[in-house]
Structure 1
């Protein structure tokens, strides 16, 4: 069982690694060509809002509600019923998202004013650019939602590679837009906005035909009265916040960042992009792979297999999440200088991005754990419990953001955006703790033997890794003073490689073996 999960996670992670490499190339080029502030900040907001809705209608809420119902029908072995359900689900989703996209285009000024109140009051040009770009990027939601429906079906049948490749295509399309489309516009970030729309269409074109090989390519039918579609809708409504709590917290940060100095949106965005690397490589991979498995175990009333898979996911998330957080915390400035500090992205921007990256990295283990804990509820078609946790988390994030950011803003402290990053991290920790507590109280999570030994092994490996990384960083010195980009990249790979090898070697020396992750 766990061997298959580990293999599927490895496939998903390998494809995600390609995506993150392409993403780094995209972010480096974007920072170099466009810098921070002005129209670039407007694009980041115009991209973030439909991206949040993508998490709701696509791989977030919709997927979490859709996959358990799909697997429930599969367990019955009725292929005709399965095809009928997919047809009606695709038709209903398309109709709903079309309406949302239409409203988004029509109400773009109102939406922009909600998320950028500071710009609406004091920066009319930036506000106008945000509104115009929102009208370009909103239809992206339709393409990406239908693509994610296809991805959910493919994932449920164990076809993880092609859906995991779609972000690579997205990043490559945006790189092409920066190089060839953006120069055609007087305000170049508008080319990026059009690139987002094109990327969504290409991702849908890539995945849709793959459903035909399963005999499940949808014929769009109005499905609002279909019993299973109504079941998905009933399950989906409470997940609107719970499956996207991190994105909701980012939007909260977007509102507050519009009140801070120019560039704050950009620094938070670039920090989040670096945080997304380990989350996408490990957290999302584990969560994506484990959801269909947990839903099948629940459908088969296999409580032991369900708890065992969940325990496996938690250990794997900690094994990847804690060293990732430690590495980003210790190497925040070297990483931001190496990835972004070129062209129009100046050393000051690099330092400001490092501030928010350092603070946001504290939440990485919790973000990863939430990727495993949330599917544990959705697989049982329990959407109310994670919704309760999400609402409490968002409320905590708002209070923490106000508490941390307000005094920094009032006293004009440099790096005030760091308060937003710290609030996001602490809210993520609170969310993971709530989900774990609910599972334990319900008796759904029964820890397997060996957690004490595993914790000591993990602690020892992190201590050794931190010692190696700090020692090498002190020996090398300031990254911003290294003039040659190739030298920055070389030394960063040396430090990361040494840290990773020392971490793995300590785990092996302490007795942890790869086979232990399969049992």
Structure 2
């Protein structure tokens, strides 16, 4: 099983890596063409709102609730699975379609709620008006991405992992084409990015239809089809909407509060800092979470308790071996990375400095973000949605309190710090509950592996401190020198970390399941 898990995770990781690298190029292009301004603040928030609902109704709660039930239907027969898919497709897309219609009609209400600071400052800044107009364009993206996420869940259940992981590449291409080749015909208006979102939704949907056809599940939605699994999915989904969306809720709260800060372009700074911190999360955390959910669901159905625990423990081990050094490296290399990637065109050095502060704060929570991604599916596989909801409520409460305290002390950077604190609260509480429920039984071998990852990361940082130039150097030299030096530091950091693990006795076999 461990070889299959590693292979499947690698497949998802490769697809996601393609998407994330192109996503990084996308952000570099947007930063270079549009810079950091009131317009980009408005766009990033207008794009975040439908994405927030998408991760609640589609990628988040729904996919987590859908997978165990659909897996059970698969065990019965392919015909039973097709009936369930038809029934769910009709109901989910109808519900989200109504939500999109409400969103388009009442766009000013959503803009007021999530961009209150823009509203109060509308006489001095155009951000509220721009955000409202762009949100009306981007909201229908929710309908497309809901279908895409449902199709991805079906494909994953049939062990087709690469296509769903690769699909977001089309979104990134749409953004890049819009910024580089279309914006110039509209006086470099940021509105072309909003329309690029819609185009991407259509392209991704067509791609998913083609993939569904390959597995023989290109079906029409049907309200006539009845399946007992639909009510079970709804039962699991309603509390799960909160459980799997805690991070997104916290980030949206942060963005809403960020609009209250009048100085600078806080929403854009937080966006660029968060995007780099999501790189390891997307490549490893999401890849493993995607792969283990169907596996855990099957193991629970077959009552393979030991295999279930081994799978969860393997997932934790992998994310810590990757997440801990990734967090340490991004904290230390925040300024060098942002300078190298974004300092050009309309993206100023002052924006680099501000975004690097956000990245430093977010990066501290990378292991926590990754742990939450792989731990929550273990509850959903057992059809336990109540426990993560309770823990999620606590995490959101922690975020709100931390926002108030940290923002009053550290200003807008405190928003990112509060998200990190909340993420660690969420992850640690999930682990504690899993240990109490005997879902996890960490032994000395596991603890030794975790400590080795921490010690290896410390050795890596010491090496980077010795090799790195002074921070001011990154804002003064040519781009080629920045790229060359950053690549040297990244490669050196990886080598130091791997050699340190080997000296500590860690081998490839330790990455396998028990």
1:357 and 2:356 aligned: no
Distance 1:443 1:237 in 2: 26
Q: Give the 5 Å matches for 1:229-268.
A: 229-260=230-261, 261-268=263-270
Alignment of 1:293-442 (within 5 A): 293-408=295-410, 416-442=411-437
Deviations 1:166-210 (A, max 9, x none): 121211111011122323335611000000111111111111121
CA distance in 2, matches of 1:361, 1:210: 35
Partner of 1:27: 27
Distance, in Å, in 2 between the alignment partners of 1:288 and 1:448 is 26
Question: How far apart are residue 219 of structure 1 and its match?
Answer: 1.4
Say if 1:266 and 1:363 are closer, same or farther in 2 by CA, change over 3 A: same
1:201-240 map, 5 Å: 201-222=202-223, 226-240=227-241
TM-score in terms of structure 1 length: 0.96
Q: CA deviation at 1:365?
A: 0.6
**In structure 1, the residue corresponding to 2:181 is in which secondary structure?**
helix
Find the aligned partners of 1:275 and 1:182 in 2 and give their Cα distance: 28
* CA apart distance, 1:462: 1.3
In structure 2, the residue matched to 1:411 is: none
Judged with a 3 Å threshold, the aligned counterparts in structure 2 of structure 1 residues 141 and 476 are, in CA distance, closer, same or farther, namely closer
- Could you tell me how far apart the structure 2 residues matched to 1:476 and 1:47 are? 33
- 1:412 corresponds to: none
* Conserved? CA contact 2:137–2:195, under 8 Å: yes
State the Cα distance separating 1:406 from its structure 2 match.
3.0
Counterpart position of 2:100:
101
Q: Give the distance between the partners of 1:456 and 1:241, measured in 2 at CA.
A: 32
Equivalent position of 2:457 in the other structure = 462
Cα distance in 1 for partners of 2:189, 2:273 equals 22
Separation of aligned partners in 2, 1:182 and 1:389? 44
| Contact 2:47-2:138 within 8 A present in 1 as well | yes
Offset at residue 477 of structure 1 (A): 6.1
Query: Counterparts of 2:107 and 2:234 in 1: how far apart (Å)?
Result: 26
Would the aligned equivalents of 1:369 and 1:432 in 2 still touch at CA under 8 Å?
yes
SS at match of 1:237: helix
After TM superposition, the structure 1 stretch with the greater mean CA deviation from structure 2, 262-271 or 172-181, is: 172-181
Query: In the alignment, which residue of structure 1 is the partner of 2:179?
Result: 178
What whole-Å deviation, never above 9, does each CA across 1:304-357 have from its counterpart, x for those lacking one?
000000000000010010001000100111011111111111000000001111
Give the structure 1 partner of residue 292 of structure 2.
Answer: 290
> Partner residue of 1:499?
493
Alpha carbons of 1:209 and 1:448: their partners in 2 closer, same or farther (altered >3 Å)?
Answer: farther
C-alpha contact 1:393 1:431 (8 A) present in aligned 2: yes
Q: Which moved more, 1:110-119 or 1:440-449?
A: 440-449
- Matched with 2:503 is 509
**What do residues 367-426 of structure 1 show as CA deviations (whole Å, max 9, x unaligned)?**
111011100101111111111111111111011101111355xxxxxxx22100100000
Choose 455-464 or 375-384, whichever is displaced more: 455-464
Q: Deviations over 1:85-130 (max 9, x none)?
A: 0111111111011011001101110100111111111125211111
Corresponding residue pairs, total: 510
* C-alpha distance after superposition, 1:65-99 (max 9, x if no partner): 001101111223x2211110011111111101101
The structural deviation recorded for 1:212 is: 1.8
Aligned to 1:488: 482
> In structure 1, how many angstroms separate the alpha carbons of the residues matched to 2:473 and 2:239?
48
Q: Deviating runs (4+, > 4 A) in structure 1?
A: none
- Is structure 2 residue 107 aligned with structure 1 residue 112? no
Assess if the C-alpha contact under 8 Å between 1:8 and 1:160 holds in 2. yes
Q: Is the 8 A contact 2:141 2:197 kept in 1?
A: yes
What's the offset of the Cα at 1:287? 0.7
Aligned with 1:301: secondary structure?
A: coil
Residue 283 of structure 1 contacts residue 368 of structure 1 at CA under 8 Å; is this kept in 2? Answer: yes
Using structure 2 for the length normalisation, give the TM-score: 0.97
Judge conservation of contact 2:83–2:226 (CA < 8 Å) in 1.
no
Counterparts of 1:39-58 in structure 2 under 5 Å?
Answer: 39-58=39-58
> What is the aligned partner in structure 1 of residue 81 from structure 2?
82
**Are 2:406 and 2:414, in contact at CA under 8 Å, matched by a contact in 1?**
yes
Whole-Å Cα distance in 2 between the matches of residues 20 and 7 of structure 1? 19
Partner of 1:413: none
Match of 1:479 in 2: 474
State the distance in 2 between where 1:405 and 1:421 align.
9
CA–CA distance in structure 1, aligned partners of residues 369 and 225 of structure 2: 34
SS in 2 for 1:478: helix
Q: CA separation of 1:464/1:44 partners in 2, compared to 1, >3 Å: closer, same or farther?
A: same
